[in-house]
Each structure stands twice: as structure tokens, then as C-alpha cells.
């Protein structure tokens, strides 16, 4: 019954990669805490780089500086 929310910047993650994250997190919770995959919910939020800040700066600007 775990609920996992993964927030990443919207920078081209493919459907297959998102599928890998979902499968990987579900397997991890089953292995470590014996949680039932059938009721493990995983939600991925992809956030525009204007809307994500780190070190006080929008990722959009950091990417322009090669960060």
C-alpha cells in the first residue's frame, strides 16, 4: 500500500524510463519491506525547468550555464 511520488524536471524522460522507475521502486519496496506490489502506487511528476529551483536559481538558467 505504499505511495511513492517521484518529482523530476521535465527534460525528456521516455515512457520506457518512467516504466523502469515504477517497476524499480515497486520491486525495492517489496524486497526491503515486503510491501504488496498490487497496491503500491507510484506517481511521477515532471516539472518545467522554470518551476524547479536549486541554489536559489531556476534550472532553466542553470542549464544555460551548463549545470
Residues touching its own copies, count (CB under 8 A): 50
Establish if 13 lies at the interface with its own copies (CB under 8 A). yes
d(CA 12, CA 2): 27
d(CA 2, CA 39): 7
Establish if 25 lies at the interface with its own copies (CB under 8 A). yes
Active site residues: 2
Establish if 64 lies at the interface with its own copies (CB under 8 A). no
User: Under the rule (CB under 8 A), what is the footprint of its own copies?
Assistant: 1-9, 13, 15, 17-29, 32-33, 35, 37-47, 50-61
Amino acid at each position: 500500500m505504499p505511495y511513492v511520488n517521484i518529482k523530476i524536471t521535465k527534460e525528456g524522460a521516455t515512457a520506457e524510463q518512467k516504466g523502469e522507475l515504477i517497476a524499480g521502486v515497486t520491486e525495492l519496496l517489496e524486497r526491503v519491506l515486503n510491501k504488496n506490489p498490487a497496491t503500491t502506487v507510484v506517481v511521477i511528476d515532471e516539472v518545467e525547468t522554470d518551476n524547479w529551483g536549486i541554489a536559489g536559481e531556476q534550472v532553466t538558467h542553470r542549464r544555460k550555464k551548463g549545470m
